[in-house]
Structure formats: C-alpha cells, structure tokens
Structure 1
C-alpha cells in the first residue's frame, strides 16, 4: 500500500499483497479479490471449523485445509459474505488434501466483494506462515510507532511555541496528505487555505447529519454524499466534555492505522489547546459584557470614554452609520440564560479560524436581565433588523428553537444616545409582550394605541382611570380569595366566549357566569356594551404595563 506521499515514509502496513512475498509461501497463487490486496493484515489464524465466521476478527488472514468443507464445498461460498462483513483481510486455502480445488462460485463471489483468496501450496505449514506474518506485522508496527511519535513530537512543538490552531491543522494536513479541518462547539472552522476538498464536501452535506457530526454523535468514517466520505474524530476536554470535531477526508486513499492513531493522539493536544482558548475567551467576554452593559445602561458618559473602553475590549465601533438596539423577544418557550450566552459567544466567534482578536462592530450581542440584546449598525431600522435576523437564523437553527419578535429602538446618531435606543427597545418589548403582539419586527411607531397608553402610563389621571376599573376587582379578590380580575382578562382575551374562558381557567362554566355577573355589578358596566369593554380593556392594559415597568425598575 502506498504512503500517500507522507513526509515520513518509513512506515507501510503489512497488507494482503505482502502475503505473496512470504518466503514460506513460495508458489502461492491469488485466485480472487485482487481489488482487496491493500487490506491491512494484523494477524494470521487457522480455520478448521465450519462456524469460524462467528469467531473471526477484523484484519485476520485466515488459513484452512478445506477440512470443514470436504463434504459440502458449496458452504465456502456462503461463508464469504460473513467474513467480508467481519472485516477479515483474506482467506488462504491449502488444496489437494481435503479440497481438490477452490469452487468457482466461491471465487466469483470473492471477486465481487474484493475479498482476496489465496491458493496455498501443499507444503504449507500454517505455524510457519503465522510466525512469518507476525514477525513482519510486529516489525512494521514498531516502525509505525516510531513514525507516530515523530509526528506527535512535531505537532506538540507547534503547541509549545504558541502557534495558532490553523497552522497546527495545516501541518497535520501536510503529514496526512489529505484535507483536514476542525470545527469547535461554537461553529468556528480551523483549516488551512488549501482545504478546498473538504469545502466541496461541506457544500453537499445533509444538514441533520452534519449537526450530529459536529456534536460528536457520529465518530469514525461517515459517508456524507454519494461516494464521498469523511472521518469524524470527536475532541474532548478532560476526557469528558465535547469541545469540537476533527474532520479528515477519506481520500485520496482510506485512512490507515497510522492515520487513526495519529488522530487519536492529536485529539488530546487539540482538546488542551481549545480548553485554553475557551478560558481566555471567557475572560475576554466578561470584560466585553461589562462594557456593553455599562454602555447600554448609560454608565459610560462620553463618546471618548465609550471608544476607549471599546478599543480595550478589542471592539471596533462603526462610523458613521446609526446604531440600533434590538431586543430579541422569544415567541413561545423562552431559552435559558445559558442558551443566550452560548449564542452570544457564537456571534463573537466571527473569523475565529484566523484567531482574530478584533471584533467587527456592525453587530454585537449581550445578555441583559436574561434578555438577548443586539447593537446593530444600519442606514435605517430595517437594514439593522435584517442583519440581526441573519445572525438569529444561524444562532437558533435547531427545530426546537423558538422564533423571535425583534423589538427595535430608534436609531442612535451618536454613541452616547445608544442608551436611549436601548430603553426604547425595552419598552417596546414590554408593551408588545403585554398586548400579545407577535410581529417579527416591532418599533414604537407600530404599537398604535398602545404607544399612547405607554405615554399616559405615568400620568396621575391614568392611575385614577386604571383604579376605577381595577381596584374594585382586586379588593374583592383579596377579601374573598376570588379571581375576578383574572376572569375578566381571560374573558376579553377569548372574545367574550364563556365556554373557552372556563376551559382556559379550568373552572366550571356556571362559576364563570357567576363571576361575570359579579364583575358587571361591581364596575357598573355591561360586557354587551362596546364602550364598557374598551374602557375595561384599556384599564387592564395600563395595569399590566405599569406592573411590568415596576418589575423592570426593581431589577
């Protein structure tokens, strides 16, 4: 078997082709399976029982006198697919004594499977073949370990010198003479500039299968498209946490034993380096989080201070485009804070394959009060929102991830006014959540009448209007342990449908009807009158809005 042009060529595996060169097997004939002569041989064994396929191991060169098939030579053909499935390297048959010749159907089947069958000369002594085979195997494995240690030392030296992972991957690619790439758990690609072969494979990957590979759920050789295949080697930190996956193309030739051992060894080195990178990035990310938090909350007073702290964090702020603060409000189930943090880390990994230390300022993300917040540059709100949508599509691509409503503040023409855009985005998110708005993109201008309610929410007259409708219900609920306020809100939300209200509150229909009568009596209204319903609903929106603002102020 050739060596794929490796820089260290001392090692070649013992293969089926080498069987033809064993001194004791002078006169051996290859009867079938020439296509499988590259199969590596790890040991030799003797087969003299009919159920040998149950005990055979991958890489074995099996030998037999034909004794198990003396009465039924057709059994041999039936056994060949089983041996192929087991990964047996080849079969040697000593003819003349128990089997006059190898059956043609067995030869045809072996040829079809690329499974080598050797006709051994009558003088063959199996123990001598085993001895010669194992001597060659052990000698070549010793050579393999020498080459392996040399490669590992070379790659370890790169790590000790502090070389970037891209350079490490490029050197590994040069050693293995096949495309190599590394994906970390943040989705960053580390690869050499010459890895065009793997890029072609990436372009045709099935997305579901690729996600499984990236998460380390698929290891070993995996077919990704047609006859193209890769080998996925999971990378772990401390032997437990999945960090990344090392991808190597199964071309221009299949992976050898040396390749697989090398990948296992370098996987440890890569895991250590990724752990160090992650620790450094987590520290840098904390400083960046604190800066963005201080900036958005107005704790950095001047543009000069903002730019100075941004530069210290490796952040290049855009100029002169306005900046928009956009709060991504989940619709449906809310991801955990940890999931949001993971999304922010992924966003910051742009150009990570080049280990860039300066982040581009067009879009930044941070988690504030368990909310995912973006700062995006754009000529207008729509262009900024479009950029955020593109990022969200990548950050939350799993089927079980939620959709979002992007609550957008007004564009900030200066860095000091970004805090105002943030405050407006928070208010838009609160109002849209309270009112049940589910549009993908919401601004203060799109809130309609609810924008007016927000402007009135702090007015004394608004408090009196709210209390006129809310206080009688809350007082009654407190005194009697009732749920009139909840019932009124649910009844209005279900378009005055008492049956749906009862189902939503898990309450008997008659109880709901009794509560509605009590509400009309206390408030001196009728649910049949549109004006009464409107005033009650406005009061409830004001009540919910003010409660939400108070809750936010407390945080």
Structure 2
C-alpha cells in the first residue's frame, strides 16, 4: 500500500513487483523523497539533463571502466534535486564503491541496487503509472489551494497576509524576491533571514532558478529551496521561494508554488502599477516644491498629505544635490536608485527625486535630529563616489526653493573648482563663493577677455594647449611636476607653456599679484555663462599692463 502523503516516494518503489529483489544500499533516511519522474542514464554527463524529483536509473555502462566516478556524481545529483539513484550491478560493474555509499548515507540520498534482470521499460511504466495516480490526487488538492489563495488576493489582504496563509498551507517558510532583491517574507521566513544575516544568498538562488532548486546553509543545516519564477511583464527576475525547513516539500507543494507564482505575478503587476502612479505624483510634488511652483502653504500641505508626506510644523528643511565624483549614472540608473531607496530614506525624513538630471534630496529635520546623521545615511544607502552639495537650512516650507538654489550653486562651483569633500556647504567654498556672486556685467566680460581670450585665440591659431595647461597648473597648486603627470608631458614643457602665457599677457611669473589675477581670471571664465564665452572669443582685447 502506498503512503498517504501527496506524492510517490522512494519507499513506494519497493512495493512495485519489479523491485522485489532491489536492495537499498545507502541513504535509507531519505526514503521519504518524492519521485515525480524516471530518467535512464547511459552517458556520463547526465547531470546537465536531470530534473528535480527524478529517479535516475542506469545499467552501469557509463562507469564500467571508472566506477569511482559514482562518488563524484552523487553530490551533483543531490544538488540538482534528484530523488534517488538505481544501478544495475554484476553486468558492467561488480559493486558500487564503498566511498560512494558512505557519501550517499551522509547526504540521505537513496541508492538502489537493481538486479541484472531488471527491465527499464517495465520500471518506467510501473513507476509512472503510480506517479500519475498520485498526480490526480495532487491536482484535486492543488485546485482547492489555488481557489483559496485566489480568494485571498481578491479580498485585498496584501502580500504579507497572502504569504502567511501560503506558509500555513505548505507548512514551510516562503518568500518573494523582486527584481532588485527586495523581499517579502512569511513569518517563519523572517526568522530564517535574521539567522542568515544578509541577502547575499539570493544571488546563488537566482543562478539556480533555471533548474528550479537550490540549497542554502543555515546553522550547519543544508536547506533545499524550491524556486518558481514570477513573471510581472515589467520585471522578469522575480522569484517565489519555498524553503524545505519544517518538512520535506511534496510534489503538490511544488505545484502549488508554481501555480501561486502566477497569482503573485498578477498582484505584483497591480502593485507596481499603483506604485508607478504614486511615484509620479510624489516626484511631481517634490519637483514643484523644490522649484517654488506651489503657490501657497495651504496648497503645499494638501499635496504633501495626498502624497503621504505630512509636514511637521516643527521641522526645518535642507536641500542637497548629489555631484558624482566618478562616472555619473545614466537617468534610468538614477531612477532605479530612487525606486530602491525611497521608502528607506523616508524613514529618516529624507525625500528624494530626480530634478534637472540630478539626484536631489530634501531633508526634513526636527529639532532633535542630527543633520550629519541624515547626510551619513544617504552616503551609506547609496553606492558610488559622490559629493553632497548642501543648501542652507530654512525654517519654512516656502523657503525650500532658496535652499535648492544654493545647493545648485554649490554643485556648479564644486564642479568647476574640482572640490571633492564628501559634504560641501556654501561657507566651505572660500573665495569661489564671492566669484559666483559677481554680476555678469561689461566689466567682468572685459576682465575675462583681458586675460583669457588672447590665450584661447593663441591656442586656436597655433594648435597649442596653453589654456588647458594653465588650468591644470593652478589646479595642482602651481606644481609643474604634478601638472606634467596629469598632462602626460615633461615638466619643462609645462614651465615653457606658463612662461609663454605670461609673455602673451605681459605678466610676470614671479609676481604674486599677477599670478593671483590670472588664476582668478581662469575661475571667473569657467564660471561664466556659455553665451558670454562665445561672445568673448570674438573680442580683440587691448593688452596693457
């Protein structure tokens, strides 16, 4: 009589007449493993073709010259989720190596010794007949389960409650992993993740998702994980995981996870659609607030409440704009960063959006909040080398625009002046904050034209690099050796070029005031509007000293 579990197991194999003379040589503790199909092995590289739940049988032909290969094969079959291994002896191999049997015992992997008279066609037919009977029972249970879980989703109880019910149904922990490795956990899965400590194991599960089964180690215990892919159309790397933690999962449990993954995919599509709409409203609200487009405080507070961002009357505000010190991520990558981190930032009172192509943060601070902790949380949360350009602290919601404007100015000046502090405020800019305040007037244009235009015109006429050399020279604190390394040329060449600049402008290299004027002219030129530069190139200055 077959077992009452919802699956045909290795123990049931011994009840089949063709297996009257079969002997379980090893792995007897794994006889509860469920068999879902039969596969015949007559080639050594069968590992690439096996599937979870298979009963693999062989005549022993692939091992006739090297029976020790069986020892190496066993852990690979276990990793693939193979249920059991049956080998004919006496024809191609006399016996199964003792090391292989010891390993199978250790892994609770059943190995059957099949008599020489065993007919593989009869074995396949007999086992599959019984598997199909069990599958009919499974389908009835499966239909009931899917109906119950569908009702859960229709009642809009959310995925957390959905996973709790699914965990109770399959009597094992379950987990949803989305495309960016954010997880939704059943109650018992939360305890497992706390034990594991981090989500690095998810990368291995993703690699193994094509085979549908993987393994993780928890407290020196090897846990099998059944993996079903979730298709949400927008994202194709979401997973539904079943951990074999409390008991061995049956075939019906695997089928349940497979069918339920479709329901989860539909629900995630609905959730993602709602989040996309909500995210657009949030971004538009933050962008309008930061740029001063919301008319009055009443409208601003109403929109903040509608977006789930209620404003605290006791808070002050600071705007920060990220300036990437290395390669700046493209717009899609920045949007993905926002998507991954927005909810986490919000816990700290940090709002984030993409404004004018830059990652922009609005920090909402209560009186007891340490602003440096908020800034540190941004650096910890995001990967990559970037600087936070921090605007002034403002006390009222209608002053946020002023903080944003200052953050933009700092971003602009830091970029030009190559300032690389992790956090940059306006009072850290030194003389450059004064240069930025200079109005774009005729005198300023003439100042730039007096010192810069002749150098640029000389470069254009003679195909030289005097202006570029001048910038690098000042950037490296007038060190010819450091400038030569950056420009990949000899330091004597740098010295010659700087002397040539002084000759053209009728300046003295040893005169500190002359060098200060020249350095200021370079920075003023770099901070000038692009249209002013174009105009200045056309000027013919009168050089005097």
TM-score by length of 2: 0.80
Structure 2 unaligned segments of length 5 or more: list them.
Answer: 534-545
How far apart are residue 35 of structure 1 and its match?
A: 1.7
1:373 maps to: 360
1:528 maps to: 510
Cα distance change on mapping 1:33 and 1:53 into 2, 3 Å: farther
How far apart are residue 286 of structure 1 and its match?
A: 1.6
Quick check: 1:268 aligned with 2:282? no
How far apart are residue 450 of structure 1 and its match?
A: 1.7
Cα distance change on mapping 1:117 and 1:474 into 2, 3 Å: closer
Distance 1:504 1:384 in 2: 37
Cα distance change on mapping 1:307 and 1:187 into 2, 3 Å: farther
Cα distance change on mapping 1:504 and 1:262 into 2, 3 Å: same
1:484 maps to: 466
Cα distance change on mapping 1:338 and 1:278 into 2, 3 Å: same
Distance 2:457 2:66 in 1: 91
How far apart are residue 327 of structure 1 and its match?
A: 0.9
Number of residue-to-residue matches in the alignment? 521
Distance 2:379 2:208 in 1: 23
Cα distance change on mapping 1:424 and 1:55 into 2, 3 Å: closer
Aligned partner (choices 169, 172, 177) of residue 178 of structure 1: 172
CA contact (8 A) 2:319 2:390 kept: yes
How far apart are residue 382 of structure 1 and its match?
A: 8.8
Aligned partner (choices 395, 411, 422) of residue 440 of structure 1: 422
2:231 maps to: 236
TM-score by length of 1: 0.79
Q: Helix, strand or coil: the match of 1:349?
A: helix
CA contact (8 A) 1:381 1:408 kept: no
1:356 maps to: none
How far apart are residue 186 of structure 1 and its match?
A: 4.8
1:537 maps to: 519
Q: Helix, strand or coil: the match of 1:348?
A: helix
Aligned partner (choices 440, 446, 451) of residue 433 of structure 2: 451
1:318 maps to: 312
Distance 2:71 2:467 in 1: 78
How far apart are residue 152 of structure 1 and its match?
A: 2.5
1:89 maps to: 84
CA contact (8 A) 1:201 1:228 kept: no
Cα distance change on mapping 1:147 and 1:416 into 2, 3 Å: same
Structure 1 unaligned segments of length 5 or more: list them.
Answer: 4-9, 352-358, 397-401
Q: Tell me whether 192-201 or 447-456 shows the greater mean CA deviation.
A: 192-201
Q: Helix, strand or coil: the match of 2:370?
A: helix
Q: Helix, strand or coil: the match of 1:366?
A: strand
2:285 maps to: 291
CA contact (8 A) 1:76 1:106 kept: no
How far apart are residue 15 of structure 1 and its match?
A: 1.4
The one-character-per-residue Cα deviations of 1:114-157 (angstroms, maximum 9, x if unpaired) are 44455779998877655443321110122223322332233233
How far apart are residue 414 of structure 1 and its match?
A: 0.3
1:353-364, aligned counterparts within 5 Å? 362-364=349-351
2:9 maps to: 15
How far apart are residue 438 of structure 1 and its match?
A: 0.7
RMSD: 4.2
